[in-house]
């Protein structure tokens, strides 16, 4: 009889895993908490869909660039028209040198942007393909809350028993991972950092040259405070959106393939590494987010102009740059009341130095939204147990669609290779 494998969560990592294992002799059951495939809570491939090939970003593991490109092509092959926007971050020597000279560390990568509007169809097309395999079974509306492990088998919270369980719940599944870690603490190998900062919005023309050349410009900068600051998720002609966690709201951004705005938004994040006695970076980030929500009102984020952000004054009016975030989702305020000084200083220094290369970036009426947070999951040890594995963002090893997909793919290779 074929061995039974459960995959918890149907996101990017699960897709890579199923794609590689679907033709092998396993009985595969996918448990997804969203109510169906159309439901928007399938988070990984829900918004933006910027796929990239890089060995310098995307996760804390090595993924062969050839496999990364193969997976990019796989996703593109599931679009209707094979139409994507493309860019190359810092492969142009002129830009590389210009940023390097000012103290930035440019990150090289190739980008392929599918766009929020095409993503649902991509996910649906992949799902339809998997459904054709008789050994692949989907169970929606099934939130798994804990797993019970013995030497031979694993029992899920819904009572079903499997030979092997692959946890692929991404960041939104942190409750399940927390539960598993508290039952099996030996799985945790590292837990130290959180990225905290803002989403910045400027008129397209300010960053036109960079957008055209690279689509996404990725840079890191060591500020005088000692914090490493970085750009993340640049959205030319994009939109700022809010993101709701269970008990707080943060800001994010995305871009569509067709429906364009006149602004570009990107995140500027400071990496905060906590050392003993603190061991709860997620808790630290959540409290700062909650403090921002407390000032803005429930479910809202703070919006401020750059000059007020810099001079710690509450913003009461906007000038030339108008927000792409819906008016009901923000309050004009002062982020200084919620963010620690060291983070503020690091971000301001970053913007001021960037302005020397990209004039207009530090214009007083550019828009600052907060809080933007990127949590790092605990790094989990996949060598501890043979029948309980973690893939994608919940494992702490990945932070992107392609890395998560690759992690799933490589885990399936490992499992099928052991046969
Ligand atoms: C708004 C947004 C935009 C992003 N844009 C990009 C981008 O453009 N490019 C990029 O490379 N990365 C992007 N990312 C990051 C990327 O989505 C993740 O790195 C990637 O999806 C991780 O894949 P995953 O399979 O680990 O998790 P996910 O893709 O998040 O999938 C996890 C799945 O598990 C389900 N789940 C959670 N808990 C349970 C449970 N207890 N029981 C059952 N099911 C559960 C969830 O509903 C979800 O469907 C974005 C993330 C967000 C939030």
- When pLDDT is cut at 50, 70 and 90, the band that residue 148 belongs to is very high
366 and 243 both lie in a single domain: yes
Q: Is residue 69 in a domain?
A: yes
What domain range includes position 68?
3-79+114-189+378-417
Cα–Cα dist 95/154, whole Å: 52
What would the mean pLDDT of 155-161 be, rounded to a whole number? 96
Instruction: Look at residue 16 and tell me whether its pLDDT is greater than 70.
Output: yes
**Closest residue (by CA) to atom 4 of ligand 1?**
47
What pLDDT does residue 44 have?
Answer: 52
What pLDDT does residue 19 have?
Answer: 98
Instruction: Look at residue 191 and tell me whether its pLDDT is greater than 70.
Output: no
What pLDDT does residue 139 have?
Answer: 96
- C-alpha closest to that of 111 among 48, 51, 66: 51
Rounded to the nearest angstrom, the distance between the alpha carbon of 43 and the centre of ligand 1 is: 4
146 and 64 both lie in a single domain: yes
What pLDDT does residue 126 have?
Answer: 94
Instruction: Look at residue 83 and tell me whether its pLDDT is greater than 90.
Output: no
63 and 198 both lie in a single domain: no
Q: What is the 3-state secondary structure (H, E, C) of the chain?
A: CCEEEEEECCCHHHHHHHHHHCCCCEEEEEECCCCCCCCCCCCCCCCCCEEEECCCCCECCCCCHHHHHHHHHHHHHCCCCCCCEEEEECCCHHHHHHHHHCCEEECCEEEEECCHHHHHHHHHHHHHHHHCCCCEEEECCCCCCCEEECCCCEEECCCCEECEEEECCCCCCHHHHHHHHHHCHHHEEECCEEEEEEEEEEEHHHHHHHHHHHCCCCEEEECCCCCEEEEEEEECCCEEEEEECCCCEEEEEECCCCCCCCEEEEEEEEEEECCCCCCCHHHHHHHHHHHHHHHHCCCCEEEEEHHHHHHCCCCCCCCCCCCCCCHHHEEECCHHHCCCHHHHHHHHHHHHHHHHHCCCCCCCCCEEEEEEEEECCCEECCCCCCCEEECHHHHCCECCHHHHHHHHHHHHHHHHHCC
167 and 208 both lie in a single domain: no
**Closest residue (by CA) to atom 12 of ligand 1?**
400
Best of 42, 143, 156, 173 for a ligand 1 pocket test (most atoms within 8 Å of beta carbon): 173
Sheet holding 193-203, edge to edge: 104-106, 219-222, 228-235, 263-273, 193-203, 367-375, 301-305, 330-332
What would the mean pLDDT of 189-204 be, rounded to a whole number? 90
Q: Dihedral, CA atoms, 177, 399, 249, 175, nearest 10 degrees?
A: 0
- When pLDDT is cut at 50, 70 and 90, the band that residue 117 belongs to is confident
Give the binding-site residues of ligand 1, using a 6 Å CB cut-off. Answer: 8-14, 31-34, 41-44, 47-50, 143-144, 168-170, 172-173, 176, 243, 252, 392-394, 399-402, 404
**Closest residue (by CA) to atom 38 of ligand 1?**
173
Cα–Cα dist 9/14, whole Å: 7
Angle at which helices 401-417 and 65-77 cross, to 10°: 110
Per-residue pLDDT tens digits for 229-287: 999 999 999 999 999 887 899 999 998 888 999 999 999 999 988 777 776 777 888 89
313 and 394 both lie in a single domain: no
What pLDDT does residue 229 have?
Answer: 98
Q: What percentage of the chain carries pLDDT values higher than 90?
A: 73
Segment among 93-102, 343-352, 368-377 with least mean pLDDT: 368-377
**Closest residue (by CA) to atom 45 of ligand 1?**
9
| CATH code: domain of residue 38 | 3.50.50.60
Which residues are CB-contacts of 288 (< 8 A; sequence separation ≥ 6)? 196, 338, 339, 340, 371, 373
What would the mean pLDDT of 204-229 be, rounded to a whole number? 93
252 and 369 both lie in a single domain: yes
What pLDDT does residue 190 have?
Answer: 73
366 and 382 both lie in a single domain: no
Tell me the two tokens of residue 323: 């927000």
What pLDDT does residue 151 have?
Answer: 84
- When pLDDT is cut at 50, 70 and 90, the band that residue 40 belongs to is low
Ligand 1 atom with the smallest distance to the CA of 143 is 42
Q: Is residue 165 in a domain?
A: yes
What pLDDT does residue 131 have?
Answer: 96
130 and 233 both lie in a single domain: no
180 and 222 both lie in a single domain: no
Q: Is residue 89 in a domain?
A: no
335 alpha-carbon distance from chain centroid = 23
Count of domains forming the chain: 2
131 and 62 both lie in a single domain: yes
Instruction: Look at residue 43 and tell me whether its pLDDT is greater than 70.
Output: no
- When pLDDT is cut at 50, 70 and 90, the band that residue 45 belongs to is low
* Cβ atoms within 10 Å, residue 356: 13
**Closest residue (by CA) to atom 21 of ligand 1?**
44
Q: Is residue 109 in a domain?
A: no
Segment among 77-86, 289-298, 323-332 with least mean pLDDT: 77-86
> Strands 228-235, 188-190: parallel, antiparallel or unpaired by DSSP?
unpaired
Q: Is residue 105 in a domain?
A: no
What pLDDT does residue 367 have?
Answer: 98
183 and 197 both lie in a single domain: no
What pLDDT does residue 418 have?
Answer: 67
285 and 316 both lie in a single domain: yes
């Amino acid at each position: 009889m074929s061995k039974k494998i459960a995959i918890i969560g149907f996101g990017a990592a699960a897709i890579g895993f199923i794609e590689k294992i679907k033709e092998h002799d396993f009985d595969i059951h996918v448990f997804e908490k969203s109510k169906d495939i159309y439901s928007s809570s399938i988070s990984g491939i829900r918004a933006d869909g910027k796929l990239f090939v890089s060995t310098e970003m995307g996760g804390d593991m090595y993924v062969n660039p050839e496999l990364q490109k193969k997976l990019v092509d796989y996703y593109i092959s599931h679009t209707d028209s094979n139409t994507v926007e493309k860019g190359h971050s810092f492969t142009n020597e002129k830009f590389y040198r210009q940023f390097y000279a000012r103290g930035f560390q440019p990150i090289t990568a190739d980008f392929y942007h599918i766009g929020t509007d095409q993503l649902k169809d991509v996910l649906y097309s992949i799902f339809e393909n998997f459904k054709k395999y008789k050994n692949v079974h989907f169970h929606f509306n099934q939130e798994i809350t804990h797993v019970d492990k013995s030497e031979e088998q694993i029992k899920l919270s819904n009572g079903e028993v499997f030979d092997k369980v692959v946890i692929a719940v991404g960041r939104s599944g942190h409750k399940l991972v927390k539960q598993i870690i508290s039952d099996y603490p030996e799985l945790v190998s590292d837990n130290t950092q959180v990225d905290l900062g803002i989403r910045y919005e400027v008129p397209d023309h300010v960053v036109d040259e960079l957008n055209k050349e690279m689509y996404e410009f990725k840079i890191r900068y060591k500020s005088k405070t000692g914090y490493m600051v970085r750009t993340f998720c640049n959205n030319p002609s994009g939109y700022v959106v809010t993101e709701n966690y269970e008990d707080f709201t943060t800001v994010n951004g995305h871009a569509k393939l067709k429906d364009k705005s006149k602004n570009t938004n990107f995140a500027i994040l400071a990496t905060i590494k906590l050392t003993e006695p603190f061991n709860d970076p997620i808790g630290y980030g959540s409290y700062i987010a909650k403090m921002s929500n407390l000032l803005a009102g429930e479910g809202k984020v703070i919006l401020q102009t750059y000059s007020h952000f810099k001079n710690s004054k509450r913003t009461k009016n906007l000038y030339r740059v108008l927000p792409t975030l819906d008016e009901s989702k923000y309050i004009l305020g002062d982020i200084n009341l919620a963010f620690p000084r060291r983070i503020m200083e690091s971000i301001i220094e970053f913007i001021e130095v960037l302005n020397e290369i990209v004039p207009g970036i530090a214009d007083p009426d550019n828009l600052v939204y907060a809080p933007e947070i990127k949590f790092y999951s605990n790094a989990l040890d996949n060598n501890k147990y043979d029948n309980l594995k973690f893939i994608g963002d919940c494992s702490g090893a990945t932070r992107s669609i392609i890395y998560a997909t690759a992690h799933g793919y490589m885990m399936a290779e490992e499992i099928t290779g052991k046969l």
